[in-house]
Structure 1
Amino acid sequence: MKAVVCKTWGLPDTLVVDELPDVVPGEGQVAIRVEAAGVNFPDVLIIQNKYQFKPELPFTPGGELAGTVTAVGAGVDRYKVGDRVIAFVGQGAFAQQIAVPMKSVMPMPPGMDFDIAAAITLTYGTSHHAVVDRAQLKAGETMLVLGAAGGVGLAAIEIGKALGARVIAAASSDEKLEVCRQHGADALINYSTQDLREAIKAATDGKGPDVIYDPVGGVYAEPAFRSIAWRGRYLVIGFANGEIPKLPLNLPLLKGASIVGVFWGEFVRREPKGNATAMAELMGWLAEGKIRPHISGRYALADTPKALNDMAARKVTGKVVIQPQR
């Protein structure tokens, strides 16, 4: 089988496609033919050794996938050959085959295609954990989403609307904001052309957002936080900008506001039952049409470096997927 391999830490162009032995599932494992693998911003960081999760070299990147079960190991009783499944894994998804623990697998809902299935676990899982669990966003509240046209940003918009909140989308271009509008955003801010604080003030009648969802970091963090409402919750999702902001701690004091960390991968590890409940709710919303992953690009396995470069250059809206069998 073919797989993308990271042999040395570096930028996406250092990745290679190698021929590796076919996988054989061990005890408690499920072997999957990978039909689609979701691409996420952490993948760009992991191959550079810049992420919390640090695999040993060499390794195959890619954290989420959808495909068909080809074999099961001893002790596996929940899945059989031919089942269509989704899996969230630490690494290994950018390959034609993978063997994963049974606990990392869940069945694909009937009628779902592989690309959509591969695009839902990390982005929607992260945003559900952030918005529902950590922020406790309520109907009638207002949420500001920074970097709103990215995968987690669009997921946050849709989840906010599913909960009955008002959602303000902030992004770097009018084209990206149009995608946000199509996915339910009530108000739009172009922070490349507008003063962020003034635009937030105008969009909230001076009250500020109850929740700020920030996967970007960098220069937008402080002006956004200065605009937060009383008792607001500021969600620290990640730092796509590349700069970890340093917020003055008098700001949360003055607003009675909270800075709330969000680390979905650790949540999955520590609280698997809570994650299972969240994923069940997301699948229900998907069936009802309340969420609909936006797939903006599909790449062959050999084009994985281009997919990651596009992600790093912030050219991606929503999600892109690798189709390893191409």
Structure 2
Amino acid sequence: MQAWRVHENGEPGEVMRLEEVDRPVPGDGQVLLKVRAANINFPDALLCRGQYQVRPPLPFTPGVEICGETGDGRRVLANPMLPYGGFAEYVLADEAALLPAPDSLDDAEAAALHIGYQTGWFGLHRRARIQPGETLLVHAAAGGVGSAAVQLGKAAGARVIGVVGGPEKAAVARGLGCDLVIDRRSENVIGAVKEATAGRGADVVYDPVGGDAYTQSTKCIAFEGRIVVVGFASGTIPAPALNHALVKNYAVLGLHWGLYARKDPAAVVGCHTELTRLAAEGTVKPLVSERVPLKDAADAVQRVADGRSTGRIAVLPEGAAR
């Protein structure tokens, strides 16, 4: 089979190589899946760089979420078991953790309903306890993680403010349903949030960016607001000033979805049931901006790493153009 493999750490476009390899052999509790669609996530770039919290042995295949097909023809969502990641024709997955792919979504959309939307749901509902009528500020609102949070925020009855970088991404965020879009390249984020909320600030901030975005959030967070830290796409991990959180009376909440998958798998299944319902109603629909063949995966991962993409980019093995 064909699979992209990383033999040394570095930028995805430089270290990913498309190779002919043997199909992986399932062990106890594992299942072999045919990949129907693999979506690109920012952690795939971090894996290539050797900067992710999980460091699989070299060589490995990146690709952390797929829509796959079982031997008996079922469409399922899975997190491939590294080092046999999703940018390949076949993967291994934990059989007990498979989730049914929603019938209302195609393969690429179904794969995108997994990590990003699970992260968004747990971040907004389990960590931030978002309430109808509250104001939600989403950084990188046109990206894969941010776009999911925007849709889930609207589904929860929140007023959603999206922060983006550039007019093209601003148009995408408006299309997703943001009530207000702020272009951080041409507008003052803090001032715009305060003006839009009559000085109160955002009740919940969803931050997959870190760096300056986190700093801005602390300056426009509402009384008893909650900042949900999801990731650090900027490359800068903030060092929160806890005296500031004390004085302004806000909370900083971490969200690591993978920990729920390990410590509370029943909650993950429950979340998937809710997401499947929202997808069937049309309340949420993953934004798949591109569908590329397997041969173009390295370039696509690099574009995600560089912040030059919107929504999700799906990698489709040959014959899986869905």
> What TM-score, normalized by structure 1, do the two folds share?
0.94
In 2, the alpha carbon distance for the partners of 1:21 and 1:223 equals 49
Which string of whole-angstrom CA distances, capped at 9 and with x for unpartnered residues, describes residues 178-216 of structure 1?
A: 111111111111111111111111111110000011111
Aligned partner letter, 1:203: A
Query: Alpha-carbon deviation of 1:301?
Result: 1.4
Correspondence 1:85 to 2:86: no
**Shift in CA distance, 27/90, structure 1 to aligned 2, threshold 3 Å:** closer
Correspondence 1:68 to 2:69: yes
Contact 2:105 2:279 in 1 (8 A): no
Residues 106-115 or 148-157, more deviating: 106-115
Query: Alpha-carbon deviation of 1:247?
Result: 2.6
Correspondence 1:251 to 2:244: yes
- What is aligned with 1:235? 228
Residues 87-96 or 226-235, more deviating: 87-96
SS at match of 1:232: strand
Contact 1:34 1:325 in 2 (8 A): no
- What is aligned with 1:57? 58
In 2, the alpha carbon distance for the partners of 1:160 and 1:259 equals 18
Query: Alpha-carbon deviation of 1:110?
Result: 2.4
Contact 2:136 2:160 in 1 (8 A): yes
Aligned partner letter, 1:30: V
Contact 2:203 2:222 in 1 (8 A): yes
Aligned partner letter, 1:112: L
- What is aligned with 1:11? 11
- What is aligned with 2:87? 94
CA RMSD after TM alignment: 1.3
Q: How many residues align?
A: 316
- What is aligned with 2:2? 2
What aligned pairs does 1:261-276 form with structure 2 within 5 A after superposition? 261-276=254-269
In 2, the alpha carbon distance for the partners of 1:270 and 1:36 equals 27
Aligned partner letter, 2:257: W
1:285 to 278, 288, 301: 278
Which string of whole-angstrom CA distances, capped at 9 and with x for unpartnered residues, describes residues 40-61 of structure 1?
A: 0011011111011111111111
Query: Alpha-carbon deviation of 1:3?
Result: 0.7
SS at match of 1:89: coil
Query: Alpha-carbon deviation of 1:90?
Result: 4.7
- What is aligned with 2:291? 298
Correspondence 1:45 to 2:63: no
Q: Which blocks of at least 5 consecutive residues in structure 1 are unaligned?
A: 71-80
Query: Alpha-carbon deviation of 1:240?
Result: 0.7
Which string of whole-angstrom CA distances, capped at 9 and with x for unpartnered residues, describes residues 268-290 of structure 1?
A: 11111111111111111000111
Contact 1:232 1:255 in 2 (8 A): no
In 1, the alpha carbon distance for the partners of 2:104 and 2:129 equals 31
Runs of 4+ in 1 over 4 A off after TM superposition: none
Query: Alpha-carbon deviation of 1:165?
Result: 0.7
Residues 100-109 or 316-325, more deviating: 100-109
1:178 to 166, 171, 180: 171
In 2, the alpha carbon distance for the partners of 1:53 and 1:143 equals 30
SS at match of 1:47: helix
Query: Alpha-carbon deviation of 1:111?
Result: 4.3
